[in-house]
Amino acid sequence: MEAMIPLFVAIPLISAFLIVLLSKLINGFHKIFAPFSLLALLFMAVYIFTNLDNTSMTYAMGGWGLLNDLPIGIFLVLDGFSILMLGIINIIGFIALFYSLSYISKYTAESNYYALFCLIIAGMNGVVLSGDLFNLFVFLEVSVISSYALVAFGVGKTELEASFKYQVLGGLASMLILLAIGLIYWKTKTLNIADVRNVMSGGFSRPYYIFVQVLLLTGFGLKAAIIPFHAWLPDAHSSAPSPISAMLSGVLIKAVGIYVLIRLFFNMFEFTHEIAVVFTVLGTISMVIGSLVALVQWDVKRLLAYSSISQMGYIVMAFGMGMILLIKGDNEPAAILAIGGGIYHMINHSVFKGLLFLNAGALEYRLDTRDLKQMGGLSKAMPVTSSTSLMASMSISGLPPFNGFFSKLIIIIAAVNGKFYILAVLAIVISIITLAYFLKFQHYAFYNRTPLKSLDKIREVPFPMTSSMILLAILCLALSLLALPSVNEAVLHPAIQVLMQSDLYSITLIP
């Protein structure tokens, strides 16, 4: 199975090249080849996940492994955490691309869209598989540069402005990340993540150590759009084509932001109390402020964008609590709950927020507006969009029996067991506020009795769009099964184990 690992990067890269090359010669080539390529990646991810058996796999690119006991090659690492991320990236990617078959027809240069979509998938897959810092940075740039172009794909004034802001702040983030990587290499003489940890564990200047961590936290915090590094996200997510908004919010900010932060701070650095507190505080602030700002939004996609900031806050806060509890060392069960809840909510958020952005795209596709005040009475005209958005809204608000209820409940229980009582109360209050603004969304879009637009000519969106929304709605229910102990043990426990026992990552990477 190790030979399949590089295919997660190679297949979408080759697909992007072939789409650009052949779409001008074969009419509609991109609409057939791109979905099949992503479907192949999804099947590969499922196959490897079912056969991984709580172990890890390492692939040395070009056969370059160790030279004089130094890891000089490019390593791709697949473990319990990275395979979950691969699953998220490729299932949301396939569904968003299938949705695009109808949605993107209103744009020109469709083949370029599909090529860029494959590139963003290749970059994100590379990020979660990369075992060294430099190639992690390269793959990160492949994904974000593709996303800059996709945000501006409509080439309107708002799209170009949003993309420019995204590029400026994204470039700043990349500069900080590259500076941190350079400082790490200067001191350790290696870029291999596991080897960096081994070198650092032998002794390191604490101020230097903290400075590098702050650089990485700032850089990847910008990529993850946690407050106060969030300024680019509302414009980018609202201006991009809706399938791309689903990708940005559903997977990109996790794969190149949250995932990398967690991977590096759990598997490369030793825990420090200061950084653990910063994680927890930033997560809490993002959770609260993002939700309060979303409450006053009337542009449906900006409401969803600020909601993403709030939900990222839940995830970062959960991991911060887990770090603090592991440092204290006196309440490991609560730490396991916090980390497991954070991972579970990452998976859930990818699904229900991806669905909500596809719902918003369906509304914009039919109404040519994102303003909730110009909608109303659409529940009968667009029954699939209405019912699936209701399911996603209830899920993100944390209502049973949907998946969001169980991941939030686990985080709240972890906070109580870890004696973070204020954080537990805040998590509950923010869930209530989240319910409030999603009830507003439901009321004004689907159940308002005095719509400002005529409903006579409005009908449901085409099959690729409706089927994509239905698939994600089903997942909102199916992922509730992860709360069952047996399913949790099989799916989430390997990822929790890798993060809590950093030596597992080192052993798999350096023989």
Mapped onto helix, strand or coil, the DSSP state of residue 75 is: strand
Positions of the chain with pLDDT under 70: 62-72, 155, 202-204, 449-456, 502-511
Contact present, 269 and 200 (Cβ < 8 Å): yes
pTM: 0.92
**What size, in residues, is the chain?**
511
Contact present, 146 and 120 (Cβ < 8 Å): yes
Tokens found for residue 497: 């184990």
The pLDDT tens digits of the residues spanning 134-185 come to: 899 999 999 999 999 998 887 678 888 888 888 999 899 999 999 999 999 8
Q: How many other CB atoms are found less than 10 A from the CB of residue 400?
A: 13
Contact present, 392 and 472 (Cβ < 8 Å): yes
Give bridge partners of residue 393 from the DSSP assignment.
none
The Cα–Cα gap between 116 and 104 comes to 13
Number of domains within the chain: 1
Q: What is the 3-state secondary structure (H, E, C) of 328-374?
A: HCCCHHHHHHHHHHHHHHHHHHHHHHHHHHHHHHHHHHHHCCCEHHH
The Cα–Cα gap between 351 and 81 comes to 17
pLDDT value of residue 26 = 83
pLDDT value of residue 510 = 57
Domain that holds residue 353: 2-509
Q: How many other CB atoms are found less than 10 A from the CB of residue 361?
A: 30
Contact present, 160 and 154 (Cβ < 8 Å): no
Contact present, 207 and 119 (Cβ < 8 Å): no
**Helix 502-509 with 193-200: angle, nearest 10 deg:** 120
pLDDT value of residue 1 = 72
The pLDDT tens digits of the residues spanning 403-444 come to: 999 999 999 999 999 999 999 999 999 999 999 999 999 989
